[in-house]
Amino acid sequence: MATDRCKDFLGRLDSWIAGERPAEAKAHFRDCASCQAVVEDLNAIQIEARSWRQLESEAPERVWTALRAQLEQEGLIRAEQPEREAAPVASSLADWLSAVFARIPRPALAGAYLSILVALGFALSGPVNQPSNEAKWLEGTRVVSSPISAQLDNFEQNTSLANRDRNPAITASLHQNLAIVDNYISLCEKSVQEEPENEVARDYLYSAYKQKADLLAQIGERGENVQ
């Protein structure tokens, strides 16, 4: 199981990938094989992501295996049954995400899972200030954000709070706030479309996705508790 230090480190993975490496994080990273493996895998994904056109087919199997192991270690998904281990590795990022998402046991955990996705998305978006042309940035952002957006939409459709929560005022408040976050996502998407290389806009977009994931997880958990 991951320690609290691991959780703290992984929770700030986006900063680490972006180059912000405080002394305590460095010390933990130096001594923790588990976190080293996650960073190594994210670096591998980043390298893969740079060749965007090939991403769908060429992400190495060990990346998916390592990420699956990490999600299992965090308790976000259950270990696969032996007969399923022989199943072929998902052929695309979206397929793999869908397969993992289907195994998430509880909506609350799905929020944490989606947070990992958002962190992963940030990692995939490449290092800041990396020179590249607009089309590549736009395509890169699309490849990363589309599966996240689709998963969030899917999660939202499956989260039917209205019939389950006791307090209509709280229900209304949650939905109102969800609409506000959706509006920010639209604004950020528009901003990213206009300026694909704008890392601040992209950071806000992923941050808004994460906020939506957290909010949907909260809504899902409420429904679950009421049942």
Partner 1 sequence: MSTGYLVLTRSKLKRQLKKQLKTAGALAVPGLLLCSAVSAGPIRHEEHFKVAAHPIITIHNPEGLITVKAWTKAEVMVISMPASNAVEVDSEQMGNRVDVTTRALSDSVSPSDMKADFQINVPEDAELQIHNDAGSVTVSNVTGDMNVETVAAGVDLEDTSGYLTVKTVGGSFQCLRCAGRIEVSSITGSFKLIDLKSTRVWAQTSSGNILFNGQFLPNGTYSLKNYSGIIEVRFSPADSFDMSATSLKGKVNNEAKLTPSTHEHHFMPRWGNALFGTFNQGRAKVELTSFDGTINILKRD
Q: Which stretch binds partner 1 (CB under 8 A): 98-106, 116-124, 153-161, 168-176?
A: 168-176
Q: Site for partner 1 (CB under 8 A): which residue of 1, 4, 19, 86?
A: 19
Question: Smaller CB distance to partner 1: residue 157 or 176?
Answer: 176
Could you give the CA distance from residue 154 to residue 156 in angstroms, rounded to a whole number? 5
Closer Cβ to partner 1, 47 or 180, answer by number: 180
Number of residues in contact with partner 1 under rule CB under 8 A: 31
Restricting to residues 127-156, name those near partner 1 by CB under 8 A. 128-129
Give how far Cα 186 sits from Cα of 70, 183, 204, Å.
31, 5, 11
- Encoded tokens for 150: 């689709």
**Does residue 187 belong to the site contacting partner 1 (CB under 8 A)?**
yes
Shortest CB 78 distance to partner 1, Å: 21
Q: Which stretch binds partner 1 (CB under 8 A): 59-67, 97-105, 133-141, 174-182?
A: 174-182
CB neighbour class for 164 (10 Å; exposed up to 12, middle 13-18, buried from 19): middle
Stretch that binds partner 1, among 35-43, 111-119, 132-140, 171-179 (CB under 8 A): 171-179
Distance CA 202, CA 204 (A): 5
* 55, 90 Cβ separation under 8 angstroms: no
Q: Which is nearer to partner 1, 22 or 105 (CB)?
A: 22
Confirm or reject binding of residue 35 to partner 1 (CB under 8 A).
Answer: no
What string marks each residue from 91 to 130 as x (binds partner 1 by CB under 8 A) or -?
Answer: -------------------------------------xx-
Nearer to partner 1, 54 or 173 (CB): 173
Does residue 204 belong to the site contacting partner 1 (CB under 8 A)? yes
Query: What is the Cα gyration radius of the chain?
Result: 18
Residue ranges in contact with partner 1 by CB under 8 A: 18-20, 128-129, 166-170, 173-174, 176-177, 180-181, 184, 187-188, 191, 195, 198-201, 204, 207-208, 211, 215, 218
